[in-house]
């Protein structure tokens, strides 16, 4: 009897296993379908891509889409530099410095909030927490007016300078992390005569490299994918970030050359996807921990 029961259970297990795998595979297909479609379309010819007679694989494998995108320079942007490449370079130098400096600002203040005693510490931290509640939309018009007043419109400064002061969410996350580091370690360093800045750079930073890396990655992706900010502040095509050049490319290629538009899409997501593949674990860690508040 015991045997029969055991056997019954295993067949049930097998069925449920099959169902689980089927669900997971289906969901993976659903996630991957748009990607594979875009990738395959980018290698098609113009006429083939513009037909309702759909085939997954290109009948005639061609790189014309990529060629066209990499030839398109709008005439006005840097001579001979394709718009999408100049957009990519602009994105890099607009996003990387604020990400790194902002991370530094957030981390050092997180250390202070976690481990040091000073006047108004809790009040300052509460103020920072409160900023997380402000919807970004309400700042849209007043910041524009202020930047316009000081001549920052049509420069990358509005996209760069504020971020250099750090971000409340990052402070919050790093503070959680630093609170977990035993204070006895820091006291030992203090007795050895190290000042607080030394403790931060020589002890806290090395201990938190993985967490910092995760935050840096998330910050970079956020900046890389930002759309509304560059859309409002960057008006010269020479300054367009990658996301804005996509808009430009769309109005030029859509309807005319579908594979070229898809080639541009592929090019635009390659950097983040590659970054994700390289640092997958960090990414997921960063997301999982920064989202959890307990």
Partner 1 sequence: MTLEKIYKKRHRRGLGESASGTIMASIPVLGFLIFGMIPLILALVMAFMYVPGKGNLAGAEFIGFENFKEVLSDYMFWQSILNTLKMAISLPICIVVSLIVAFLLTKDIKGRSFFRAVYFVPYVCCAVAVSLMWELIFNQNHGIINSWLGLTRETAIPWLTDSSTYTLCLIIIGIWGGTAYGIVLYGAALTNVNRSLYEAAKVDGAGSFRCFFNITLPSVSPTSFYLLTTGLIGALQEFTRPQMIGGGQGAGPNNDGLTIVFYIYRRAFVYNNQMGEAAAAALVLSVFILIITAINFVVSKRWVSYD
Q: Which of residues 46-75 bind partner 1 (CB under 8 A)?
A: 49-54
Residue closer to partner 1, measured from CB, 80 or 123: 123
Long-range pairs of 113-121 with CB within 8 A, sequence gap ≥ 24? 113/171, 113/175, 114/174, 114/175, 114/178, 114/179, 114/181, 115/178, 115/179, 115/181, 115/183, 115/186, 116/196
159 binds partner 1 (CB under 8 A): no
Minimum CB distance to partner 1 smaller for 79 or for 205:
205
- Per-residue binding letters, 209-238, with partner 1 (x by CB under 8 A): ------------x--xx-xx---x------
How far is Cα 143 from Cα 135, in angstroms, rounded to an integer? 13
Among 63, 250, 256, 278, binds partner 1 (CB under 8 A): 250
Which residues in the 98-137 window bind partner 1 by CB under 8 A?
A: 105-106, 108-109, 111-113, 116-121, 124-125, 127-128, 131, 133-137
Which of the stretches 60-68, 71-79, 205-213, 245-253 binds partner 1 when contact is defined by CB under 8 A? 245-253
CB of 242 to partner 1, least distance (A): 8
Closest C-alpha among 140, 128, 135 to residue 172: 128
Binder to partner 1 among 198, 201, 236, 278 (CB under 8 A)? 198
Please list, residue by residue across 88-121, b when 16 or more beta carbons sit within 10 angstroms of its beta carbon and e when fewer do: bebbbebbbebbbbbbebbbbbbbbbbbeeeeee
In this chain, which of 64, 143, 154, 176 binds partner 1, going by CB under 8 A?
143
Distance CA 180, CA 189 (A): 17
Interaction between residue 150 and partner 1 (CB under 8 A) = no
Task: Choose which of 73, 144, 207, 238 interacts with partner 1 (CB under 8 A).
Answer: 144
Binding track, positions 11-50, relative to partner 1; x by CB under 8 A: ------x--xx-xx--xx-xxxxxx-xx--x-------xx
């Amino acid at each position: 009897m015991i045997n029969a029961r055991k056997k019954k259970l295993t067949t049930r297990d097998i069925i449920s296993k099959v169902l689980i795998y089927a669900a997971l595979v289906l969901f993976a297909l659903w996630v991957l379908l748009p990607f594979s479609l875009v990738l395959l379309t980018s290698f098609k010819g113009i006429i083939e891509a513009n037909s309702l007679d759909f085939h997954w694989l290109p009948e005639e494998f061609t790189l014309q889409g990529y060629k066209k995108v990499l030839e398109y320079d709008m005439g006005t942007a840097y001579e001979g530099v394709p718009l999408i490449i100049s957009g990519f370079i602009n994105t890099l130098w607009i996003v990387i410095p604020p990400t790194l400096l902002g991370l530094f600002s957030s981390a050092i203040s997180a250390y202070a909030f976690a481990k040091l005693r000073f006047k108004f510490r809790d009040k300052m931290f509460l103020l920072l927490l409160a900023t997380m509640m402000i919807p970004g939309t309400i700042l849209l018009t007043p910041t524009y007016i202020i930047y316009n007043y000081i001549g920052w419109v049509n420069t990358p400064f509005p996209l760069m300078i504020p971020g250099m002061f750090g971000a409340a969410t990052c402070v919050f996350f790093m503070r959680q992390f630093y609170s977990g580091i035993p204070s006895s370690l820091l006291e030992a360093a203090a007795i050895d005569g190290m000042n607080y800045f030394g403790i931060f750079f020589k002890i806290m930073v090395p201990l938190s490299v993985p967490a910092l890396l995760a935050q840096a990655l998330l910050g970079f992706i956020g900046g890389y994918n930002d759309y509304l900010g560059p859309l409002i502040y960057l008006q010269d095509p020479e300054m367009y970030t990658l996301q804005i050049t996509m808009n430009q490319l769309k109005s030029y290629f859509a309807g005319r050359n579908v594979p070229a538009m898809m080639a541009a899409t592929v090019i635009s997501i390659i950097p983040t996807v590659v970054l994700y593949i390289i640092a997958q674990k960090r990414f997921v860690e960063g997301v999982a921990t920064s989202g959890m508040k307990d």
